[in-house]
């Protein structure tokens, strides 16, 4: 059952907030953990609730940065018109500024998770531009090297010469099956 349907059918009750603590936010957290228990049929501890919420928050921040804050560079600028004249450098520069802010302000235990989610979101955004770019983007076989170089520079941004994410984690999310390039011949000529 979708969460919005569940909450529409089972709104938060006043009786769920106990008066003994005088902390309604703590009680709402406990009530939401009980709802997770009802959904999944197993005991949900407070740490698993916090982990799940931090995971959702991390993904939301990552996709907001890529698809909202940087949409003017990614969606409106990347490969519009001629791919050789509108490369990925402006996007990587803006993204690097955001990553520096995140790395300077967020604790290291959470930083890897958020940067990984930003990497996934940026790879999804890059793929979105390639596959659903609209009529302003047309790719030829000659553009395949430009696209591969741009994707490699995006991966290098997250690797950061060994100071960023581990190379195996980057490779996990950047497999060639998930991110096709125009140079890959996926169709055989009919005999």
pLDDT tens, residue by residue, 64-113: 999 999 999 998 899 998 888 889 999 999 999 999 999 899 888 888 99
* CA 12/CA 141 separation, integer angstroms: 56
Q: Where are the alpha helices (DSSP H) in the chain?
A: 3-9, 24-40, 46-64, 71-74, 89-105, 108-132, 144-159, 167-173
Written as six digits, the tokens of 187 are 């169709």
* CA 91/CA 77 separation, integer angstroms: 8
Q: State the pLDDT at residue 154.
A: 94
Q: State the pLDDT at residue 123.
A: 93
Listed in sequence order, the residues at least 6 apart from 94 whose beta carbon sits closer than 8 Å to its beta carbon are 70, 73
Give backbone dihedrals phi and psi of 134, rounded to 5 degrees, phi first. 90, -175
Q: Which pTM was predicted?
A: 0.69
Q: State the pLDDT at residue 184.
A: 52
Sign of the Cα pseudo-torsion (133, 139, 143, 148, in order): positive
Written as six digits, the tokens of 186 are 């996926």
Distance of CA 140 to the CA centre of its chain: 28
Collapse the DSSP code of 81 into the 3-class scheme (helix H, G, I; strand E, B; otherwise coil) and give the result: strand
Return the DSSP state at 137.
Answer: B
Q: State the pLDDT at residue 185.
A: 46
Q: State the pLDDT at residue 138.
A: 85
Listed in sequence order, the residues at least 6 apart from 102 whose beta carbon sits closer than 8 Å to its beta carbon are 111, 114, 115, 118
pLDDT less than 70: residues of the chain:
1-48, 176-191
Q: State the pLDDT at residue 177.
A: 41
């Amino acid at each position: 059952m979708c969460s919005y349907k569940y909450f529409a059918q089972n709104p938060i009750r006043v009786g769920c907030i106990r008066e003994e603590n005088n902390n309604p936010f703590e009680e709402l957290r406990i009530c939401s953990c009980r709802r997770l228990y009802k959904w999944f049929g197993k005991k949900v501890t407070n740490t698993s609730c916090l982990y799940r919420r931090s995971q959702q928050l991390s993904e939301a921040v990552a996709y907001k940065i890529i698809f909202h804050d940087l949409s003017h560079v990614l969606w409106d600028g990347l490969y519009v018109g001629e791919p050789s004249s509108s490369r990925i450098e402006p996007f990587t520069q803006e993204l690097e500024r955001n990553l520096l802010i995140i790395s300077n302000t967020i604790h290291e235990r959470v930083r890897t998770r958020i940067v990984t989610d930003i990497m996934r979101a940026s790879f999804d955004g890059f793929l979105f531009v390639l596959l659903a770019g609209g009529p302003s983007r047309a790719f030829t076989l000659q553009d395949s090297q430009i696209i591969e170089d741009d994707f490699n520079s995006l991966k290098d941004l997250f690797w950061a010469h060994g100071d960023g994410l581990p190379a195996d984690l980057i490779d996990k999310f950047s497999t060639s099956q998930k991110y096709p390039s125009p140079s890959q011949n996926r169709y055989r000529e009919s005999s």
